[in-house]
Amino acid sequence: MFLQKTIGAFLVTPGIFILILLLSAVFSRKGRWLFVLLATFLYVLSSYPAEFLFLRPLEEDLIVPDGLPQNGVIVILGGGVERNTKTGDSLSDST
């Protein structure tokens, strides 16, 4: 399971770009350190601490309006729906 999730992480963004940069470093004759540096930089930017660093200032300055409608709805974009379960259609764990 761990190996499957690790390989799966490198098949989607940003993992695929990190993998391409690391493979470029392996097959490159010059500038290997540049590819490794770019891969490391991309990994750090896509990690949780960088997300916290960049999103925290946006969340702190958020102004919630006073007059929100009483019959408003919230749309949650998530990981998907599991079809035909015992209880009918339900949200998946990733949602």
pLDDT, tens digit, 9 for 90 and up, residues 8-39: 877 888 888 888 988 999 998 888 999 999 99
User: Could you tell me the pTM of the whole model?
Assistant: 0.54
Q: Is residue 91 within 8 Å of 78, Cβ to Cβ? A: yes
Query: What domain range includes position 42?
Result: 2-87
Average pLDDT, the chain: 83
Amino acid in position 9: A
pLDDT value at 57 more than 70: yes
Q: Residue 95: what pLDDT?
A: 67
Residue 28 lies in a domain: yes
Integer Cα distance of 93 and 78 in angstroms: 10
Residue 24 lies in a domain: yes
Amino acid in position 10: F
pLDDT value at 79 more than 90: no
Residue 71 lies in a domain: yes
Q: Is residue 21 within 8 Å of 39, Cβ to Cβ? A: yes
Integer Cα distance of 10 and 46 in angstroms: 13
Higher pLDDT, 33 or 90: 33
Residue 22 lies in a domain: yes
